[in-house]
Homo-oligomer: A and B are copies of this chain.
Amino acid sequence: MTKDWKQAAAAKKQRINDSIPKEWRIDTSSLGASVMDVPSTCGLLSKSELDITNSSATDLVARLATGSLKAVDVTTAFCKRAAISHQVTNCALEFFPEMAMQQAKELDEFYEKNGRTVGPLHGLPISLKDQLRVKGLETTMGYVSWIDKYDTEDSVLTALLRKAGAVFYIKTSVPQSLMVCETVNNITGRSVNPRNKNWSPGGSSGGEGANVGIRGGIIGVGTDIGGSIRVPSAFNFLYGLRPSHGRMPYGKMANSMEGQETVHSVVGPIAHSVPDLRLFVTSVLEQEPWKHDSKVIPMPWRQSEHDATVQKIKSEKLTLGFFNNDGVVMPHPPILRGVDKVVSTLRENGHTLIDWKPYKHDYAVDLIQGIYASDAGKDIHTVLSASGEPAIPNINDLVDPTRSGADITTLWDVQLQKWNFQMEYIEKWNQMEEKLGKEMDAFIMPITPTAAIRHNQFKYYGYASAINLLDFTSVVVPVTFADKKLDKKNDNFNPMNDMDKQAYHGAPIAVQIVGRRLTEEKTMAIAEEVGRLLGNAITP
């Protein structure tokens, strides 16, 4: 294949473009930097299709369940909007509206015949990162050498979503190897941020970020081993859940460094609201994923944890830690302002915010960088060699080839260090609670040192990756937008690269709400409250 990698990549790219019906093609020749208004202005979507795609998933499934909406109509609307989305952001690695329409038709027939839905996601289109296998389709993960390999079975999560009634119509783009927080590969090239084509949509679930960001998708499935759910959520003004390992099924998905278990990649939803994240989580848990993926913990949705948090918010209020820098890289002014805004808003609303000193994040970031590089990039470079395609520019940032990799003894030592660090961190948390005489319910911190970033500029993964090492539950909350008038240069920080305030103007700013391990119910409820207080709880 070596000689033909460009040909194979071009053919696949052409197939993706050809999968968009001619009547859904739009003129993209005179678009500006932001394409956010294209869906509503290009004329392809009817008013009802705009209404559908601008709804919440929670509303849609309710209307689908009463029969007031048909799966075929919802699917048509999202297929058309995703077609627009791909044309303006280059977000797809697979697009299959025909298969989607067939699925939708069958769901409508089932509903008509049985007078009920097949499950909690009946008729809801869900977009999938191109790691999730869908029977009959390719999963390239941005690797040229994986083109033309067609999946013979669904991933566990695909199968369970299907059982819950979800419709699949698009698989979204990723950076070659996944190990980059931007989205570029040699098959489709670069995905861009719909708010400004000069910005990255983030990565590695960047295709999801872009597609859900412009509402070509309503709930997208991403994965995260170093920020890959959270960065695209942050860069596209979306909510995102990085569950702790063991809550959501990753079985039979494609991955880089398959079998690497020192730090697990996790799978979770990206959406426009916490209720939509919750809809995803409850719907998957209802399918008892632990009966199909041995790594999933038999832990059903704990409504009592959710209810207790909601009650606490109303009565005694929350106690939340926060910090705006991890002691390694000082965030840009917009991010500092974002954290300030969250802190002051919460305080104004009666919650207690306390200084949480990030415990040895420098150590954590170094440790996890070593883990990413524990095979010295062998897995990635083996897959690249198979086609002869070159590596993308940023490949060496996260999987650092100057690290020599690990032998078994070194790996065991790293794993022991990880465990000890995790235990020290939760003891610090315990000590804080002892000092306070009450629980610290979660803590608030940046996700990246910058707002949505220009292409090829993403350098520092530590705000995200330290949380992966700790395996804490994290929920992304969109906060506001960078503003050249408000975000003045701060002379006290150590710049990572040339900062151009102009370049960030309008870029989304987010924080992550970090809870203890396996606290998805509680941490999402807190994130919902934070979003509500910020006025970001309901989007168009």
Contact = CB atoms under 8 A, between A and B. Distances in A.
B294 A259 contact: no
B261 A415 contact: yes
Nearest to A258: B416
A519 B405 contact: no
Contacts of A299: 297, 299
A411 interface: yes
Contacts of A362: none
A310 interface: no
Contact of A407 (B258, B259, B407): B407
Which of A246, A252, A375, A419: most chain B Cβ within 10 A? A419
Interface stretch (A6-14, A285-293, A475-483): A285-293
A533 interface: no
Nearest to A297: B297
Contacts of A413: 259
Interface in A401-452: 405-409, 411-417, 419, 422-423, 425-427, 430
Contacts of A262: 261
Nearest to A296: B517
A379 B251 contact: no
A517 B290 contact: yes
A417 B415 CA distance: 20
Copies of this chain: 2
Contacts of A294: 419, 422-423, 425-426, 470-471, 517
A295 B412 contact: no
Contacts of A422: 294-295
A292 B430 CA distance: 8
Nearest to A427: B292
A385 interface: no
A16 interface: no
Contacts of A291: 426, 430, 516
Contacts of A185: none
A89 to B, nearest CB: 33
Contact of A419 (B292, B295, B378, B519): B295
A interface residue count range (under 10 / 10 to 19 / 20 to 34 / 35 or more): 35 or more
A257 interface: yes
Contacts of A519: 298
A159 to B, nearest CB: 11
Which of A246, A412, A417, A422: most chain B Cβ within 10 A? A412
A423 B411 CA distance: 25
B292 A408 contact: no
Interface in A497-531: 516-519
Contact of A426 (B292, B297, B405): B292
A361 to B, nearest CB: 16
B258 A412 contact: yes
A297 B246 contact: yes
Contacts of A416: 258-259
A188 interface: no
Contacts of A261: 261-262, 412, 415
A417 B261 CA distance: 12
A294 B469 CA distance: 11
A191 interface: no
Interface string A259-276: 111100000000000000
A374 interface: yes
Contacts of A156: 423
A301 to B, nearest CB: 14
B374 A423 contact: no
Given A294-B419, A298-B518, A427-B292, A374 B259 contact: no
A291 B252 CA distance: 31
A290 B156 CA distance: 28
Contacts of A374: 408
Interface string A62-75: 00000000000000
When A and B form their complex, which 3 residue pairs have the shortest distance between CB atoms, in order from nearest? A259-B412, A294-B422, A259-B416
19 contacts: A258-B416, A259-B414, A259-B417, A260-B412, A261-B261, A261-B412, A261-B415, A291-B426, A291-B430, A292-B427, A294-B422, A294-B426, A297-B297, A297-B518, A298-B517, A374-B408, A375-B412, A378-B409, A408-B408
Given A261-B261, A291-B430, A375-B408, 18 more contacts: A156-B423, A246-B297, A257-B412, A259-B411, A259-B412, A261-B412, A261-B415, A290-B518, A291-B516, A294-B425, A294-B471, A295-B419, A297-B299, A298-B517, A405-B408, A406-B408, A407-B407, A407-B408
